[in-house]
């Protein structure tokens, strides 16, 4: 897995309580994992850090990343200061492809990077996967599943992880 040096503006939806667009510096990059001998297709994780360390957005394209890929991403974001114990994450699964053999939920449990997460889904398979991730998360983490982006963002900004 390697960080690509491309940075580009990422459109976002402003909500009450969010800083004005003029005060934010758009930071977007992609972490790409190439296919391996195992036959797994490429996995790309788009990372929007415009509101970090308070909020990050992860967009998974292709298959769910392996535990190693998730650890590398988590470590990279932590070392750069974009990921803290208080960071909230929107994890967009709408471009996630159905997984093959293996246990993606064990992978998701090991790679959970934030205490408060909203999963954005479009298909029943993605919803089922996100439900399994929520069950696997265990105590101390708050995960919710949404089909509408605005509802997910509103919940993330207002969720109380100690509830």
User: Residue holding tokens 């208080």?
Assistant: 86
Cα Dmax for the chain: 47
pLDDT of residue 147: 97
CATH class name, domain 2-6+42-158: alpha beta
Q: Where are the alpha helices (DSSP H) in 7-158?
A: 67-79, 104-111, 124-137, 149-158
For 43-101, the pLDDT digits (tens) are: 888 999 999 999 999 999 988 888 888 888 888 899 999 999 889 999 999 999 876 54
What are the domain boundaries of the chain? 2-6+42-158
How far apart CA 89 and CA 115 sit, in angstroms, is 8
**Residue 40 contacts residue 75 (beta carbons within 8 Å):** no
Sorted by sequence, the CB contacts under 8 Å of residue 34 that are 6+ apart come out as 42
For 97-134, the pLDDT digits (tens) are: 876 545 656 655 666 578 899 999 999 999 998 888 88
**Residue 133 contacts residue 160 (beta carbons within 8 Å):** no
């Amino acid at each position: 897995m390697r960080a690509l040096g491309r940075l580009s503006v990422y459109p976002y939806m402003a909500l009450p309580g969010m800083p004005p667009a003029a005060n934010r510096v758009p930071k977007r990059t992609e972490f790409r994992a190439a296919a391996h001998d195992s036959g797994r297709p490429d996995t790309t994780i788009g990372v929007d850090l415009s509101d970090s360390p308070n909020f990050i957005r992860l967009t998974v394209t292709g298959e769910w990343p392996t535990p190693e890929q998730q650890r590398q991403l988590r470590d990279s974001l932590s070392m750069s200061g974009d990921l803290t114990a208080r960071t909230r994450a929107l994890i967009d699964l709408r471009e996630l492809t159905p997984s093959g053999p293996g246990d993606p939920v064990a992978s998701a449990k090991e790679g959970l990077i934030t205490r408060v997460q909203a999963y954005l889904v479009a298909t029943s398979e993605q919803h089922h996967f996100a439900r399994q991730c929520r069950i696997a998360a265990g105590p101390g983490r708050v995960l919710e599943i949404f089909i509408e982006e605005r509802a997910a963002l509103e919940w993330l900004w207002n969720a109380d992880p100690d509830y």
